[in-house]
Amino acid sequence: MNRITVKTSSKQYDVCIGYGILSNLQSIIENFTPKVSKIVIISDDKVANFYLEDVKNQVAHLTNIDSYIFPNGEESKNFAIYEKCLEFCFESKLDRSSLIIALGGGVVGDLAGFVAATYMRGIRFIQIPTTLLAHDSAIGGKVAINLPKAKNIVGAFYQPELVLYELNFLKTLPIEEWRSGFAEIIKEALISSKENINWLIDSIQSLENIEPNVIEKCVEMGINVKNQIVSEDERENGVRAFLNLGHTLGHAIEAYLGYSKTTHGEAIAFGTLFSIYLSEQLFETDLSFALFLSWFKKLDYPVYLNLDIPSMIELMKQDKKNVEQKINYVLLNDFGVPKICEVEESFLKEQLKCFLTEIIK
């Protein structure tokens, strides 16, 4: 089991990564102070079918356990489900010594984490990610729910007690979820160093049947990059915004299509490709856009050609990085050299149109 320690201004905690490490959960929780009075596991109906009983069995001897299961999908990250989770915690008689376990991917972690952050003004929670995407979302304490037209707009910064990343859980992921999670690893490589992104391109030409040691190295690389940034800037007042590379257009695509029509990471991958293209145009630099376009196609990332550009611009104006609806974009001066730039609306429209034309050549 590998441990990465996250040190933010509000809390220090471990991220445990490895195959077969779920068996450590009971001993870890036994060492919590104060002693855990009760546990509620929050998960979705897909993940629960695979792993809920495994997790329950690991903590069954510690205290009373309840579980709340909600429908799988980004559309569940809303006020209605959030309220039902809070009501369930109240009916389960959780107190300030209780613990919430978020068992699932990014949706579960965001929602359960926000429940933990707000129930009784904050109780402890653990992230147990079950997707590749959650290597990113489970680290750093961003917890949130969506509005119909704005993703993660209602939330908090609230750090977990622990992230336990059982890599065996990734074995049941469908291929679209591998693409979704790998998009965030690409992002972390791009903003960290040329060496990281070169290693990634050289090591992975398909997202099927990846060697376990390569998966572990990818996850550790992504988490180390995220850790370095969130430890310096917990509340996104500076460099943490670099983690939004690809997300301005990606979030707009999710909102435009509807959250159930594409995975988060697949939309982010398209947004990242556009960020590379836009960086080349704005900074007059060579970031090998053609190489990345070819690589993304080889990895079977979807393209979104039927986007209404005025609608995309309006949705991008709602991004949390913006001030007075002026679009601030995370771009790359070079690999490992991210930069936030205010991009003129007319220039953005023109470049998005050219980008969509370039994609289909």
**Residues 223, 132: Cα–Cα separation, whole Å:** 11
DSSP-assigned letters across all residues of 259-287? TTSS-HHHHHHHHHHHHHHHHHHHHT---
Q: Say which DSSP state 238 is in.
A: S
User: Does residue 135 carry a catalytic annotation?
Assistant: no
User: Does residue 264 carry a catalytic annotation?
Assistant: yes
Q: Which of 247, 254, 266, 328 is catalytic?
A: 247
Output phi, psi for 333, to 5 deg.
Answer: -70, -35
Q: Which of 236, 254, 266, 328 is catalytic?
A: 236
**Residues 208, 144: Cα–Cα separation, whole Å:** 31
CA-based R_g, the chain, Å:
20
CB 13 within 8 A of CB 160: yes
Q: Which of 142, 151, 179, 187 is catalytic?
A: 142
Give, in degrees to the nearest 5, the angle at Cα 173 between 168 and 175: 135
User: Does residue 226 carry a catalytic annotation?
Assistant: yes
Tokens representing residue 121 in the block: 């003004």
Instruction: State the chain's maximal CA–CA distance in angstroms.
Output: 61
The answer for residues whose C-beta is within 8 angstroms of residue 260's C-beta and 6 or more apart is: 73, 74, 75
Tokens representing residue 344 in the block: 């003129």
**Residues 123, 97: Cα–Cα separation, whole Å:** 7
The 3-class secondary structure across 108-127, one letter per residue, is: HHHHHHHHHHHHHHCCEEEE
Q: Which of 3, 121, 209, 237 is catalytic?
A: 121
User: Does residue 208 carry a catalytic annotation?
Assistant: no
User: Does residue 244 carry a catalytic annotation?
Assistant: yes
Q: Which of 77, 124, 179, 240 is catalytic?
A: 240
Virtual torsion, Cα 237, 11, 226, 270, nearest 10 deg: -60
DSSP-assigned letters across all residues of 170-185? GGG--HHHHHHHHHHH
Tell me the H-state helices in 299-344: 309-316
Q: Which of 152, 196, 244, 328 is catalytic?
A: 244
**Residues 208, 195: Cα–Cα separation, whole Å:** 23
Tokens representing residue 61 in the block: 């001897």
User: Does residue 236 carry a catalytic annotation?
Assistant: yes
Q: Which of 152, 179, 251, 254 is catalytic?
A: 251
User: Does residue 297 carry a catalytic annotation?
Assistant: no
**Residues 152, 106: Cα–Cα separation, whole Å:** 11
Q: Give the active site residues.
A: 121, 142, 184, 226, 236, 240, 244, 247, 251, 264
